[in-house]
């Protein structure tokens, strides 16, 4: 087999996995933008997206309907989570919300296990034909769906944050909570909205990847970890950074495990991540925060 086709095959694999990481990283970024906190429940929403889709697919046999409904349900769960654990905080600050989100993640995982079960679940891909062969390489049609829908979602988010009042309000609330409140931004609503968007992105990632990898209640931590790394790599708070970071991490894993060793797949990816963060602490596309004292 030619080296060229192997490289292309890895490229496809890396972009597919990378897109999923980008979607999860986006969730981290949105919550960070509005609260300055890291939301470690992000990975659990990915799992919920996949597992609820599977449950709905089993009863409706309509893949599109199942996934859309699941994403909506998980978005509502995102809102409820915010109302239940973040909103009641008397003095919300970034560190406190980050800590609370870890508790939320553990709770969510147990609930998923108890309600949706311990067995891994799956369903067929969105298209009838599962694999296309282009120039000697195999491309899963689901990978195309993943890349396509990720791009659409990220573009929508970009427009939302740059060109709508609501999006600008979210950014204002993140930049300075008190100042935003003074100029009339309902800060608590913006936090709730950011949780809804983050849950939406996470659930979408889960619904998209389950046909390829199955979904089980204990995968959330790993998804969260990968998404977090991608967000840091790209530059936390930067939307294009989520894409760049996600794809970079996906490609690093694919090529690292092929050319060096599959034993060190994660180690290679994280070694590069560390190296980049040493050189550019704010990530590839992030801007360093200058705080005047």
DSSP 145: H
Give me the least distance between CB of 160 and other proteins, in Å please: 28
263 binds other proteins (CB under 8 A): yes
Two structure tokens written together for 283: 């990530």
- Which part of the chain contacts other proteins (CB under 8 A), choosing from 76-84, 92-100, 258-266, 271-279? 258-266
108 binds other proteins, rule: CB under 8 A: no
Long-range own/partner contacts, residues 151-156 (CB < 8 A, 24 or more apart): 153/23, 153/26, 153/201, 153/204, 154/22, 154/23, 154/26, 154/239, 154/242, 154/243
- Kindly state whether residue 53 participates in binding other proteins, applying the rule CB under 8 A: no
Q: How far apart are CA 206 and CA 197, in angstroms?
A: 14
Q: How far is the CB of 214 from other proteins (least distance, A)?
A: 5
Q: Does 140 bind other proteins (CB under 8 A)?
A: yes
* Closer Cβ to other proteins, 4 or 281, answer by number: 4
Q: In 3D, which of 227, 200, 220, 216 has the Cα closest to residue 17?
A: 227
Q: Is 255 in the site for other proteins (CB under 8 A)?
A: yes
Pick 41 or 121: Cβ nearer other proteins = 121
The reply on whether position 267 binds other proteins by CB under 8 A is no
Q: Does 218 bind other proteins (CB under 8 A)?
A: yes
Distance of closest approach, residue 7 Cβ to other proteins, in angstroms: 9
Residue 128 binds to other proteins (criterion: CB under 8 A): no
Give the integer Cα–Cα distance in Å for 229 and 76: 26
Contact partners, residue 177, CB within 8 Å, separation at least 6 = 187
Taking CB under 8 A as the criterion, the residue among 23, 209, 231, 249 binding other proteins is: 209
Total residues at the site for other proteins (CB under 8 A)? 38
46 binding other proteins? (CB under 8 A): no
Q: Alpha helix (H) ranges present in 82-186?
A: 94-116, 141-163, 165-175, 177-182
Per CB under 8 A, the segment of 67-75, 211-219, 234-242, 268-276 that binds other proteins is: 211-219
Asked whether the beta carbons of 18 and 209 are under 8 A apart, the reply is no
Task: Quote the CA–CA distance of 266 and 164 in Å, as a whole number.
Answer: 39
Select the span of 82-90, 116-124, 180-188, 189-197 touching other proteins (CB under 8 A).
116-124
Binding site for other proteins (CB under 8 A): 1, 6, 9-10, 12-13, 16-17, 20, 113, 118-122, 124, 130-131, 138, 140, 209, 212-214, 216, 218-219, 222, 253-255, 257-258, 261-263, 265-266
């Amino acid at each position: 087999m030619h080296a060229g086709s192997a490289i292309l095959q890895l490229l496809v694999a890396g972009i597919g996995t990378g897109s999923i990481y980008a979607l999860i990283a986006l969730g981290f970024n949105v919550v960070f933008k509005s609260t300055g906190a890291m939301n470690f429940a992000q990975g659990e929403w990915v799992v919920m997206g996949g597992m609820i889709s599977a449950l709905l697919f089993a009863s409706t046999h309509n893949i599109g309907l199942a996934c859309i409904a699941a994403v909506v349900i998980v978005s509502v769960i995102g809102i409820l989570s915010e109302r239940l654990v973040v909103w009641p905080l008397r003095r919300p600050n970034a560190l406190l919300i980050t800590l609370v989100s870890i508790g939320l993640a553990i709770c969510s995982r147990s609930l998923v296990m108890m309600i949706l079960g311990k067995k891994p679940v799956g369903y067929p891909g969105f298209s009838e034909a599962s694999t296309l062969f282009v120039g000697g390489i195999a491309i899963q049609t689901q990978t195309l769906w993943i890349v396509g829908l990720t791009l659409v979602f990220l573009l929508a988010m970009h427009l939302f944050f740059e060109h709508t009042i609501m999006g600008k309000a979210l950014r204002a609330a993140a930049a300075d909570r008190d100042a935003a409140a003074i100029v009339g931004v309902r800060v608590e609503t913006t936090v709730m909205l950011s949780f809804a968007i983050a849950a939406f992105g996470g659930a979408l990632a889960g619904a998209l990847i389950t046909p390829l990898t199955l979904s089980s209640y204990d995968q959330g931590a790993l998804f969260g970890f990968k998404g977090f790394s991608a967000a840091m790599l790209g530059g936390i708070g930067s939307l294009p950074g989520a894409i760049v970071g996600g794809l970079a991490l996906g490609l690093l894993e694919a090529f690292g495990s092929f050319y060096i060793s599959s034993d060190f797949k994660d180690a290679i990816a994280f070694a590069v991540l560390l190296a980049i963060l040493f050189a550019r602490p704010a990530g590839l596309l992030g801007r360093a925060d200058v705080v005047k004292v």
